[in-house]
Amino acid sequence: MRIPFLSDRHCENISPFTSMKSYLSSHLHPKQCRRSGNQTSCLPHAIELEHVDEGNRRSYVAHRVPAFYTPVYSPRFVYGCVLSASIGGILFGYDTGIISSALVVFYRDLGHDLSREEKQLLTSLTSGGAFIGALIAALTTDAIGRKMVIGLGCIWFTVGSVLASSAYSVALMSIARFIIGVGMGLETMVTPIYISELSPSSRRGRMITVYSLAVTGGQALAYAIGSIFNLVSQGWRYMFAFGAIPALIQVALFPIYPETPRHLIYRNQTADAIMVLQQIYPQAPPSDIQTLVQTIQDDVNRSVSFDQGIRRACWSWKQLHTVPSHLRSLITACGLMALQQLSGFNSLMYYSATLFNIMGFSKPIEAGLIVSGTNFIFTALSLKFVDLGRRRLLIGTVWGLPVALAMAAGAFSKINIDTNLELVATPPLWAKVLAIISFAVFVAFYAIALGNVPWLANEFLALEVRAVGTAMLTMVCWSSNILVSATFLSLVSAISASGAFGLYAGVCFVGWVFIIFTYPETAGLGLESVRQVFEHGFGVRYANQLQGLRWIDAAL
């Protein structure tokens, strides 16, 4: 039975307040349960969904799949896997945050006092390495699995951290930072895929936010470690060496967490996928597990059987740019990720200690804890809200970013910094206080939504293009990151700190408008359902219809 309002050509014939509810009452009522063994399975009646192949404009009816059904999951197993994978987030956050402390205490330990350009180089090389790491992940994650790519990332992190802690020249430190960056690219590309494919749809947003919380926790840890070792002779060596510890812990936990069911089914390892699903949903009867397997298998069947590696990546690349629904999902995902990086947040994460040092703070690293601490606290707060609605959360918070940045621009208009990044005169106290307050307000608005929701955007991508699409998403992340990290100090020197923050404010306002028109609400929808959204333009209205179906079904 096909739901009429799921097809564009029938939308005008159905009233969402009458026919939708009558249909739900008769076909999707949660009380229509069936017996399976000794347990009752409240599986809603399955529905047939019309699928449109935009590559050749064919329409066909897909396999019958359950509507918004997820069995009761095992929090212990799921959170154990998510926390183990999220150690990669700690690595990501720590190695992006520790450079802020190190730049203040390098002194002449690398052979000479670092110039502005060398500071930007050491900061941005990690992002450059991450860009390459994302490319490597795109070519390997379908072939060797999500879990194995995470393990490879740990190796790169460990090697880079050890090399950085023993560097005695800018050249050697540059190589070490690049190696760390490759590990970042591998981890940040694959870990969100791993978590989203392993998590129940009703908790997918929260689980990805756990990863974001690990990132912010790693950043706060970096500032804490920096404040401990900043007075120690060559203490920056201990700062970098500490980064190898989380990587070694994640390697030790490698045997504990499994490969994702979707990848196992994709590789025709259905028996192993069933074992993982039984661990995720231990109380579900075998018939419900089989239903989930069939739902995933239907999604897998929509992809094309190609050799893995470059040939597969090239095919996925073509699909992403020639199939309109894939292209729209890619534009939305990459646009939001670009906004996350170009909003100016990383200028604070990388250079807040440098800015506080220029402003005359006696303990600039400790002052930087205001940024990282606020980020961690409000990311933790977002755990409560992210599965209630990503779109609502973004629209309700991103508007605060240009406001806070305008406050920062006003404060720095009274803090005169010359082209050599030195303070011209002692700034008024109120300007320094306003700068700190504006940073805290900006980070708070950022952390609640924009800091973590873009990492959920891989859920927009259909399975057959998810690996390459997520790699592109990660490459957009790091290329945008390079643009900020490699230019911020030069930007401050050229147009002043006030002008730089004013520029970021304009970017944030444009990004807020972009979200309103292109970002659909997908909270609570299964990954197999999300792919339909972008077959209807950018899917904002269509996603609202699906959400209405979901909530009405829950109320019946």
Q: What digits encode the pLDDT tens for the residues 403-433?
A: 999 999 999 999 888 888 888 888 898 999 9
Closest CA to 147 of 259, 248, 251, 255: 259
- pLDDT-derived band at 8 (thresholds 50, 70, 90) equals very low
pLDDT at 71: 66
pLDDT at 516: 93
pLDDT at 310: 60
Q: What digits encode the pLDDT tens for the residues 19-72?
A: 333 433 333 333 333 333 333 334 333 333 334 444 443 433 344 344 445 567
User: Does the pLDDT value for residue 272 go beyond 70?
Assistant: yes
Residue 65, phi then psi, degrees to nearest 5: -130, 150
On whether the CB atoms of residues 439 and 408 are closer than 8 A, the answer is: yes
Report the percent of the chain where pLDDT is more than 70: 82
The CA distance from 73 to 467, in Å, is 26
pLDDT greater at residue 342 or residue 66: 342
User: Does the pLDDT value for residue 145 go beyond 80?
Assistant: yes
User: Does the pLDDT value for residue 506 go beyond 90?
Assistant: yes
User: Does the pLDDT value for residue 290 go beyond 50?
Assistant: yes
Q: Fold for domain 72-257?
A: Growth Hormone; Chain: A; (1.20.1250)
41's CB contacts (< 8 A; 6+ apart) are 33, 34, 35, 284, 285, 287, 288
pLDDT at 167: 92
pLDDT at 17: 37
Collapsed DSSP state (helix, strand, coil) of residue 158: helix
Task: Say what the pTM is.
Answer: 0.71
Q: Compute the mean pLDDT over every residue in the chain, rounded to the nearest whole number.
A: 80
User: Does the pLDDT value for residue 495 go beyond 50?
Assistant: yes
- pLDDT-derived band at 294 (thresholds 50, 70, 90) equals confident
Q: What digits encode the pLDDT tens for the residues 238-269?
A: 999 999 999 999 988 888 889 888 888 888 88
**How many CA atoms are closer than 13 Å to the CA of 439, on its beta-carbon side?**
25
The whole-number average pLDDT for the span 315-324 is 84
pLDDT at 107: 83
Each domain of the chain, given as residue ranges in start order, spans 72-257, 308-555
pLDDT at 509: 97
Report the percent of the chain where pLDDT is more than 90: 26
pLDDT at 68: 45
Residue/partner pairs of 242-245 with CB below 8 Å, 24 or more apart: 242/94, 242/161, 243/91, 243/94, 243/95, 243/98, 243/157, 243/160, 243/161, 243/164, 243/180, 244/157, 244/158, 244/161, 244/162
- pLDDT-derived band at 434 (thresholds 50, 70, 90) equals very high
- CATH ID of 308-555, from 1.20.120.1200, 3.30.300.350, 1.20.1250.20, 1.10.760.10: 1.20.1250.20
Strands 58-61 and 50-53: antiparallel
Which of 198-202, 229-233, 397-401 shows the lowest mean pLDDT across its residues? 198-202
- pLDDT-derived band at 548 (thresholds 50, 70, 90) equals low
- pLDDT-derived band at 309 (thresholds 50, 70, 90) equals low
Which of 7-11, 121-125, 130-134, 362-366 shows the lowest mean pLDDT across its residues? 7-11
The CA distance from 532 to 536, in Å, is 8
**Domains 72-257 and 308-555 fall in the same CATH topology:** yes
Q: Look up residue 298 and give its two tokens.
A: 């239907």
On whether the CB atoms of residues 316 and 464 are closer than 8 A, the answer is: yes
Q: What digits encode the pLDDT tens for the residues 166-218?
A: 999 999 999 999 999 999 989 888 888 888 888 887 777 778 888 888 988 99
The CA distance from 370 to 227, in Å, is 12
In terms of Cβ atoms closer than 10 Å to its own Cβ (0-12, 13-18, 19+), residue 499 is middle
User: Does the pLDDT value for residue 81 go beyond 80?
Assistant: yes
